[in-house]
Amino acid sequence: MLKKLLIFVVLLMPVVASGADKAKKDEPVEHLTDEQIYEQLKKLALVFETARDSFVEEADEKKMLEAAMNGMLQALDPHSSYLSADDFKEFNDKSQGEFGGLGIQITSDRGAVRVISPIDGTPADKAGIKAGDYITHIDGEQVFDMTLNQATKKMKGRPGTKVKLTIISEGEEPRTITLKRDIIKVESVKYEEKTMAGMEDDEDADKIGYIRISDFGATTAKELNKALEKLEKKDVIGYVLDVRNNPGGYLTAAIDVSDAFLDGGEIVSTRGRRETDIERNFAKPGDLANGKPVVVLINHGSASASEIVAGALQDNGRALVMGSQSFGKGSVQQQKPLGDGTAIHITIARYYTPSGRSIQNEGITPDVEVLQSKVEVLERKESLYSEASFKNALKNEESEKKKKDKSDDDDDKELTDAEKDALDYQLQRAMDMVRAMSKLQAHASIVPATPDDPIAMEIDAGDAATSDDKKSDDKKSDKK
């Protein structure tokens, strides 16, 4: 038995070692000799046999070995893990864009479970769970040192059943909430034309293309191209690309989304453990937004693929990034099936923005920091000094009745989409910026050229380039 177990573990080790990431520079790795590795594997087998034979209850060998493999991978980083056959199947079901659960993306953080982001419109999102929250208990059971797969399993279940979570938000007391599980259908891209708050009834108000990407799945790029095609027909002046609370997804989807707004240049590079393990991805000709201003909205719930897009458009000078510092997940995971229905997720590389910045543990810094805020009205609607302010002033009975009716209506009324937009401070500032960039762009196009003025000569050169771009736009784009 001992000999068979040693052979199994030795066969597993090269698979794990091939995906190991670089250690931190301030913690150099002390490599073991082959003889030392063999001695450690013997010790592992001895621990297994002793625990199986001496534990007070009958031991579950499969559970013990899977926990050992998972622990081995999670010792590398929070995103590497072992997937049992059930976990592997659930992961593939989730990748198809529909799964059962609460709609919450989580990660491991020093033994605790931390929320990366809730998915739009899911039970977790509706319950007010936010990026950065910590989950301490699931159905009354502590989650400390629970693996991500175990925590995820406990939150999943048959749609309609309930689960109780204890949540800690920064600066707040712990709270326990009960959520009802549901079928989670991920709608990757939503889009519409918007106007600034208070200008909805103005027919001449600038129309801004709003595109919300909630995650990066297999169909995201196709959905985005369709959104851009329809919004361009509505003659919008520019775009707000909203990837707030987007936990990421497929690397290929992030590359294709960035490519839709770029006419060329590098998008992202991935770099593995060896100096030769470098892969660069470049944009193809054809900007589907036709050079119109773009603002990318990010926050601390924007992770992974979201950060690739924000970094690519920022470094190429194609978009202005607004919001707050992003999450900082700059690593690439690969799924490696083990041939028996199980698999491992292993971190194989870090990714870098076109300027060579690593996003890992740093995130994307916005060009313009705009923290989510609440607008406070400083001017009173009614003056302190009026007929109504006098003592014993006669009441207006009709007015009092209208006020009461209005108050009753307000209690029952749910906010409209336009009212929600008006309360979204970051979105309003992003649309403000798109309008400003559009006007600046329009102003630059009509600046009179003066050949003797070196600045004007630069403008002429820019106009010539713009003219060439327009000619190329008449041709069919290479992007479809």
pLDDT tens-place string over residues 374-396: 766 555 545 555 566 566 666 66
Position 237 pLDDT exceeds 90: yes
How confident is the prediction for the chain on average, in pLDDT? 82
pLDDT in tens, 98-137: 567 898 888 877 777 888 888 888 899 899 998 889 999 9
Non-local (6+) Cβ contacts of 79 within 8 A are 107, 329, 331, 333, 345, 347
Location of structure tokens 């200008």: 199
Whole-number pLDDT of residue 116: 84
CA distance 409 to 403: 10
pLDDT over 70, % of the chain: 77
- Of 294, 292, 289, 286, nearest in space to 310 by CA: 294
Average pLDDT score over residue span 472-476 = 45
pLDDT tier, 26 (very low <50, low <70, confident <90, very high otherwise): low
Whole-number pLDDT of residue 408: 56
Domains parsed from the chain with CATH numbers: 2-85 (no CATH), 98-184 (2.30.42.10), 189-328+363-369 (3.90.226.10), 447-480 (no CATH)
Average pLDDT score over residue span 64-93 = 86
Average pLDDT score over residue span 161-165 = 93
Whole-number pLDDT of residue 449: 53
pLDDT tier, 233 (very low <50, low <70, confident <90, very high otherwise): very high
3-state secondary structure of 244: coil
Alpha-helical regions (H) of 22-127:
34-54, 61-74, 85-95, 123-126
- Of 193, 294, 291, nearest in space to 240 by CA: 294
pLDDT in tens, 270-283: 999 888 889 999 99
Question: pTM of this prediction?
Answer: 0.71
pLDDT tier, 462 (very low <50, low <70, confident <90, very high otherwise): very low
Contact 240, 329 (CB under 8 A): no
Residue type, 46: L
CA distance 443 to 446: 6
Catalytic residues: 304, 315, 329
pLDDT over 90, % of the chain: 49
